[in-house]
Structure 1
Amino acid sequence: MQAGDLEPPEPQAVSAPLTRAAIFLLVQVDAGGEQTAKDLLADLAGLQRAVGFRDAGAGLTCVAGISSAAWDRIYGGPRPKELHELPVFSGEKHTSVVTAEADLLFHLRADRHDLCFELETLIMDRLRGAVTVLDEVQGFRYFDARDVLGFVDGTENPTGRGVEQAVLVDDDEPFNRGSYVVVQKYLHDMRAWNALTTEQQELVIGRRKLSDVELSDEEKPADSHIALNVITDDEGNELDILRDNMPFGRPGHDEFGTYFIGYTKSPAVIEKMLDNMFVGSPPGNYDRILDFSTPHTGALFYVPTADFLEDPPDAPPEPEPPAAATPAGTSLGIGSLRRSTRS
């Protein structure tokens, strides 16, 4: 078989259909736990098949993402060119949160929560003693794909071929057909939100609450959530991301939230959205939804292809330490090495 005939690498299930249940798991890989984490990631697809086989129609998937810091520890070698730590976005009134310790993301989805629960149990059985759990959120489908604020979430997701165009890397060999993903956990002040009239809430979001129809440009405030989350390129083309947000909460603890998760081929698109939200566009014109929704986590990950996880390339050998300095007059004529660093 010639190189041109090889099948392209298989992406993870970033574009799986929206489901009724999800679990979002962030963990830190403890010192010495790197090989355990690498082995688990290689076996993740097999664990998913073992659990998903119990109800093939429930659509069980699990997407794994690796942070910038964890990439060097687990895989070494070449890096995805846009993998870095998520910046902090700080405006006059609101500031985003970065969970710098988050090394791995597991995004589990299915139409049955028990399948997500079982797969997470198997994952943690393998990782226990090698990782520290930083955050675990169990999401659910709320009526007709609404968030707990009462608005439909994810209306502008791309469809058809537009999904792959929006989420799959296509200019970074050998990391093509992977994705980037940004996650944030928001908690809502429901008392303050519910004190608004429906019409006032619609001006914050930029959509009608019942019909989900976007407000006209004349009606939609410049600081509405919709207005500040439309990102275009230099030619004016809108740049899409794929959201699979889920509501979560514990009413007995007065906890009501939305777990934002956005897949993209370039994290710059989501980072521009966050800059618009927190800093404002122009600066000071921040997203009004932040007056009612507070971020508690935030992280950026690269999502390798399924093929990469199952059979990662061998890490390059560690460079040999530099030779001891030679006495003056006996230089070997070798110039000094220079290492470039990237965030």
Structure 2
Amino acid sequence: MPQPQPVLADLTGAAVFLVLTVEEGGERAVRDLLPDLGGLARSVSTRAPHDGLSLVVGIGSDAWDRLFAGPRPAGLHPFEELAGPRHLAPATPGDLLLHVRAERMDLCFELATRVTGRLGAAVSVVDETHGFRYFDCRDLIGFVDGTENPVGRDAADAVLIGDEDPAFAGGSYVVVQKYLHDMDGWNALSTERQELIIGRTKLDNVELDDAVKPADSHVALNTVTGPDGEGLDIRRLNMPFGSFTEGGECGTYFIGYARDPWVTEEMLRNMFLGRGPAAHDRLLDFSTPVTGTLFHVPSADFLSGPPPAPGTAAARAQADATSAPQPPAPSANPAVRDGSLRIGSLKRSPSP
């Protein structure tokens, strides 16, 4: 499998999340930068090699066709706005995502400065969020975040594209949303009521028994299963953020990596549109998303040698070569025979 970007790196003490749009005519600057991203990250990390500096770049659906000729990742599409009876998950602009993380904010800031400096006027920043670790990986509402993240081999299986889309193996998909919290309203609730909304105990982070856990709790609606009842995972690297200015915002920056974006999108459909007896995720009554974007995260190998730009002679030659009839290649994975995207034995089921 091609070398992935560091999507499996552990949660760190600090992060910078940058969502950018590519200006008209800025495509060349972006393409010129992509092969150099690994070197830029290494040059900064040598100053503090034990502080876990990493950079992940994602590319949005609209930008993909402006940057690259040839095939598209099978799961790449614009983020779908979700309008439920009470709550809205908006779709907002975003051509590039920069997810910079380390144990120290100075390292994140330095690397983000170098990358955006190279891009210059080729891009505009549409969202900038600085995240921090809050005590024992809790969010600002006081609960531990990311408890059910897969680890080891399970994490790679949940996050990295495999034989189902061989041209983009080693890549991933990522959804980002910036949630703003109503802290006054949340803090007015008793701990017991908060626990029923989340579906976990607050102090010791234990999931509530199914007989007690409400159907509209956050944990219940974020549980997605495949056709055989197996749990389907994503990898969350959420971080709190906040400001003390007048009207300052505070909340959680949601960032979820997945092998198939359907899994993340199904969780969001459950939260905003409801499932079964649950009309919506009760946490949304206190936490409101103001952004929403989906990106493909190419492999590191892809970034090192990206396909030609659209409209170039190289792109035309590539198109001519790929248009010649080719015998069908059997799947290297015997579990994938019907052309569907799978995670384990995942087959897509209709939305509730």
TM-score normalized by structure 2?
0.87
**Structure showing greater Rg:** 1
Shift of the 318–304 alpha-carbon distance from structure 1 to 2, 3 Å rule, reads closer
Match of 1:72 among 59, 65, 73: 65
**Cα RMSD (Å):** 1.4
Residue 311 of structure 2: aligned partner: none
Q: Is the 8 A contact 1:91 1:284 kept in 2?
A: no
Residue 130 of structure 1: aligned partner: 122
In the TM superposition, what is the alpha-carbon distance from 1:312 to its structure 2 partner?
Answer: 1.1
- Give the Cα–Cα distance (whole angstroms) in 2 for the partners of residues 10 and 46 of structure 1: 15
Residue 104 of structure 2: aligned partner: 112
- Give the Cα–Cα distance (whole angstroms) in 1 for the partners of residues 147 and 316 of structure 2: 44
In the TM superposition, what is the alpha-carbon distance from 1:219 to its structure 2 partner?
Answer: 1.0
Q: How many residues align structurally? A: 312
Q: Is the 8 A contact 1:228 1:281 kept in 2?
A: yes
Q: Is the 8 A contact 1:189 1:293 kept in 2?
A: yes
- Give the Cα–Cα distance (whole angstroms) in 2 for the partners of residues 206 and 177 of structure 1: 34
Residue 48 of structure 1: aligned partner: 41
| Counterpart secondary structure, 1:107 | strand
- Give the Cα–Cα distance (whole angstroms) in 2 for the partners of residues 156 and 77 of structure 1: 37
Match of 2:132 among 135, 140, 146: 140
- Give the Cα–Cα distance (whole angstroms) in 1 for the partners of residues 30 and 57 of structure 2: 11
> Is the counterpart of residue 167 in structure 1 residue 167 in structure 2?
no
> Is the counterpart of residue 228 in structure 1 residue 227 in structure 2?
no
In the TM superposition, what is the alpha-carbon distance from 1:16 to its structure 2 partner?
Answer: 0.3
Match of 1:285 among 279, 297, 300: 279
Residue 250 of structure 2: aligned partner: 256
In the TM superposition, what is the alpha-carbon distance from 1:77 to its structure 2 partner?
Answer: 1.1
Match of 1:155 among 147, 159, 163: 147
Deviation digits for residues 200-243 of structure 1, max 9, x if unmatched? 00011000000000000011000000000000000000000000
Equivalent position amino acid for 1:226 in 2: V
Structure 1: runs of 5 or more not aligned? 1-7, 321-343
Per mean C-alpha deviation after superposition, the further-off stretch among 231-240 and 305-314 is 305-314
- Give the Cα–Cα distance (whole angstroms) in 1 for the partners of residues 317 and 291 of structure 2: 35
Deviation digits for residues 31-79 of structure 1, max 9, x if unmatched? 0000101111221101000000101100100000001110110112110
Q: Is the 8 A contact 1:77 1:316 kept in 2?
A: no
In the TM superposition, what is the alpha-carbon distance from 1:282 to its structure 2 partner?
Answer: 2.6
Equivalent position amino acid for 1:287 in 2: D
Equivalent position amino acid for 1:121 in 2: T
1:1-343 equivalences in 2 (<5 Å): 8-99=1-92, 101-170=93-162, 171-253=164-246, 254-282=248-276, 285-314=279-308, 315-316=315-316
Equivalent position amino acid for 2:152 in 1: G
Equivalent position amino acid for 2:134 in 1: Y
Deviation digits for residues 281-322 of structure 1, max 9, x if unmatched? 0376200000000101000000000010011133345989xx
Equivalent position amino acid for 1:137 in 2: T
Q: Is the 8 A contact 1:147 1:258 kept in 2?
A: yes
Q: Is the 8 A contact 1:188 1:257 kept in 2?
A: yes
| Counterpart secondary structure, 1:38 | helix
Equivalent position amino acid for 1:298 in 2: G
Q: Is the 8 A contact 2:81 2:91 kept in 1?
A: yes
Q: Is the 8 A contact 1:85 1:300 kept in 2?
A: yes
Deviation digits for residues 90-149 of structure 1, max 9, x if unmatched? 1111110111x2000000000011000000000111111101110000000000000000
- Give the Cα–Cα distance (whole angstroms) in 2 for the partners of residues 19 and 176 of structure 1: 26
In the TM superposition, what is the alpha-carbon distance from 1:252 to its structure 2 partner?
Answer: 3.5
Q: Is the 8 A contact 1:181 1:261 kept in 2?
A: yes
Q: Is the 8 A contact 2:70 2:319 kept in 1?
A: no
Q: Is the 8 A contact 2:216 2:278 kept in 1?
A: no
Equivalent position amino acid for 2:133 in 1: R
